[in-house]
Amino acid sequence: MATSAAARMTKAQLFRLSVVLGSIFMILLIIVYWDNVGTTHFYLHTSFSRLHPLGALPTVAQDKDWETLSDVDEFLEKLLSAGLRQNSLSNRQTEQPLPQGSSRPVLGNLEENVRGYDWSTRDTRVSLDQEKLQAERRKMLQEFCANSSFAFPTKERSFDDIPNYELNHLIVDDRHGIIYCYVPKVACTNWKRVMIVLSESLLDQGVPYRDPLDIPREHVHNTSTHLTFNKFWRRYGKFSRHLMKIKLKKYTKFLFVRDPFVRLISAFRSKFELENEEFYRRFAIPMLKLYSNHTNLPTSVSEAFGAGLKVSFSDFIQYLLDPRTEKMAPFNEHWRQVYRLCHPCQIDYDFIGKLETLDEDAAHLLQLLKVDRLLRFPPSYRNRTASSWEEDWFAKIPLAWRRQLYKLYEADFVLFGYPKPENLLKV
């Protein structure tokens, strides 16, 4: 009898011990997950499972496994959704409305001095056609991604096949449930500023920035300022891909694109027509040696410009077409194809903006994200590189090179609905 009672007590104790150990494990997991994430302010007050602003929940493109999440995914999703309603309310209470007036940028940077800002007043009323336009853009992208007869490198791989270092352009804002894939030379400086304001990832004298244009340019492009997907591995280890997929399912994902040839012209203007020490040393010196037969080049960009030694647009095109270029290193982000930066056939974007319709698209997107009362998108540049300049810029580029260049960027033209530049590709 005593032995039986002792056995029951032992079982009860073991049960209580297992409950305690299980609770400790859960607490430790939560602590690890919510561990410090540096300047990104990965808030517990996340809008992780807020109502998605674009209607139906987005999914990871070509990933059928989302219909039945893995156990780990499901566990993490439930864990992270636990206190959602009160957290969402907390966010709304702490967010402040748009400040009256907006400070103008300090034009200390040569590139911004050259460009200048357009401060003219605009009617920011969003067209009723915006939703239809977005539906058309997304449909076109999805159809070409699914079209087996349209092929380009990396198209067929899955999201899991993408190396972490190729996910460094996906910026995450956990406070509002937003993922932005930035494309250099497509208003990315100002969109990064917007993401900093929304995520409160950068402080000015202990206070988060509220006006995007108050944020100094050098901080905008500092990689430590932003939480990007490629940083997940060192923070969350083997859980990183699961977390990425959950965020891709739950968050609103957007990118902005631009006519590929115009983007190349813009990259050339800002990196090789202006004095840029880094780009001179890394790219201009090799180009001048390989394609202009220069030797004994100055070590500094100011000396080179003073001596009239500048990379020509023809040198730049030769560099892009030279098969040796990418054997040395992948294209720099300023001229790397959008499909390689943002993986549009692996990630199902909810919003596709275009620089050609930046003002309308930006206003519509901020409304969809329900942050239009918190900030305005900064004004456009007056000196934006125009598509009408293409013929002048390519006038001295041989026809064969133009056709090769189109093939190199064809996927970006097709996926994002830019017409083939026939006037540049025919005799």
Mean pLDDT is lowest, of 51-65, 82-96, 232-246, 406-420, for 51-65
Name the pTM for this structure: 0.78
The dihedral sign for the CA sequence 243, 245, 246, 248? positive
The C-alpha atoms of residue 51 and residue 94 are separated, in whole angstroms, by 19
Contact 218, 245 (CB under 8 A): no
Q: Checking DSSP bridges between strand 252-257 and strand 351-354, what pairing results, if any?
A: parallel
- Give the closest residue to 366 by CA, choosing from 355, 378, 356: 378
Look up tokens 């702490």; give the residue: 94
The C-alpha atoms of residue 129 and residue 133 are separated, in whole angstroms, by 6
- What is the domain partition of the chain in residue ranges? 124-261+337-424, 268-328
Neighbours of 55 (CB within 10 A): 10
**Confidence class for position 419, pLDDT limits 50, 70, 90:** very high
- Give the closest residue to 314 by CA, choosing from 287, 341, 352: 287
pLDDT at 121: 35
Buried b (16+ CB within 10 A) or exposed e, 267-306: bbbbbbeebbeebbeebbbbbbeebeeeeebeeebeebee
Is a pLDDT exceeding 70 seen at residue 118?
no
Q: Which two tokens stand for residue 24?
A: 């400790």
Beta pairing partners, 171 = 180, 228
Residue-wise pLDDT tens digits, 357-369: 999 999 999 999 9
pLDDT at 389: 81
Is a pLDDT exceeding 60 seen at residue 70?
no
Of the CA atoms within 13 Å of residue 397, those in its CB half-sphere come to 27
Is a pLDDT exceeding 90 seen at residue 5?
no
Is a pLDDT exceeding 60 seen at residue 130?
yes
DSSP conformation class of 280: I
Is a pLDDT exceeding 70 seen at residue 279?
yes
Type of residue at 270: S
The C-alpha atoms of residue 155 and residue 134 are separated, in whole angstroms, by 22
The C-alpha atoms of residue 263 and residue 266 are separated, in whole angstroms, by 5
Mean pLDDT is lowest, of 4-18, 94-108, 276-290, for 94-108
**Confidence class for position 77, pLDDT limits 50, 70, 90:** low
